[in-house]
Amino acid sequence: MRPADPALSPKKAIKSAVKALVPASTLTALKTRAERLKVKTQSVVSDPMQFERPTPSRECPICGYQGRFWSFGSPPRAEALCPDCLGLERHRLLKLMFDRMSEVATAGRILHFAPEPFVRTALYRTKRYITVDISGWGVDCAAAMEALPFADASFDVAIANHVLEHVASEVTALAELKRVVGPSGLLILSVPQIQGWASTYEDETLTDATARRTHFGQEDHLRLYGRDFMDRLRRAGLAVEPFQLDPPSEVRYGLKRGETIFLARPAPGGGAA
């Protein structure tokens, strides 16, 4: 065992010693268990009366759980969280879309932003499956969507599930996504969307975290999309096909009503408008 670095603070020295003594797999399992406990505790604290409300049994397409879904978020969304795999509405919709699209399962080169664990598990055997996030935490590549370190047409599919609302320049990010998937690639995109709004709401003067949470729903969101999201994709030179499920399926799987995944492909001869 390597001796502790004397330059480390006591807290960091203890952490370093634990890492040296405990197998990485054990640490990962403990971290996962702690995260699960944290999420479920937050659900109960944020909505303590949720278990008093009658609710139909839901079905999780990710893990197969059947039963009550739990509340999640701030403010809490009722019946959003699968208590078994901790999947949310957008994760379940993405899984259902994958189940209906063989193109993703058979793709040899996939780029995945801010990867959902269940997608990682399903796709990690892909010949070239690369995960990316601007933070660099727990992914293969640290990069902003506006400046991707990949050659043109490096991937067949790029997945960005609730990511575009975080990027500083949507126009640049979409151009980069088009570039790395090439003319025959597929973009799988979703965003928080208010269907009652004709236009996307964004305000560059809102830089304070509290203001952004109040206006856009989260401290690191830079916009909240309206019905014009599809038009914004088309202006970026993309042909777009929306994916939704019917209302009974939304109830069965505990989805947000009307939530949409956008399947976007570079339009023939289409540059950004």
Residue 30 lies in a domain: yes
Residue 73 lies in a domain: yes
The residues pairing with 239 across neighbouring beta strands, listed in sequence order, are 265
pLDDT value at position 32?
76
pLDDT value at position 2?
44
Contacts of residues 212-216 at CB distance under 8 Å and 24 or more positions apart, as own/partner, are 216/165
pLDDT value at position 21?
74
Q: Which two tokens stand for residue 96?
A: 């259902």
How many angstroms separate the CA atoms of 58 and 218, rounded? 27
User: Which residues have a Cβ under 8 Å from the Cβ of 172 and sit 6 or more positions away?
Assistant: 146
Q: Is the same domain home to 51 and 177? A: no
Of 81, 114, 137, which residue sits at a domain end? 81
Q: Is the same domain home to 166 and 189? A: yes
The DSSP secondary structure of 186-200, one letter per residue, reads EEEEE--B-TT-SS-
pLDDT tens digits, 206-257: 999 999 999 998 899 999 999 999 999 999 999 999 999 999 999 999 999 9
pLDDT value at position 263?
97
Per-residue pLDDT tens, the chain, 273 aa: give them: 444 455 556 666 666 665 667 677 777 678 778 888 998 999 999 999 999 999 999 999 999 999 999 999 888 999 999 999 999 999 999 999 989 888 887 788 999 999 888 787 777 666 788 999 998 888 899 999 999 999 999 999 999 999 999 999 999 999 999 999 999 999 999 999 999 999 999 999 999 999 999 999 889 999 999 999 999 999 999 999 999 999 999 999 999 999 999 999 999 876 654
How many angstroms separate the CA atoms of 99 and 94, rounded? 9
| ω into 3 cis (within 30 of 0) | no
pLDDT value at position 1?
42
Pairing of strands 157-161, 186-190: parallel
Q: Which amino acid is at 238?
A: L
Q: Is the same domain home to 136 and 60? A: no
Residue 218 lies in a domain: yes
Counted residue by residue, the chain has a size of 273
pLDDT value at position 273?
47
Segments forming the whole domain that contains residue 213:
89-266
Q: Is the same domain home to 23 and 94? A: no
Say what the pTM is: 0.83
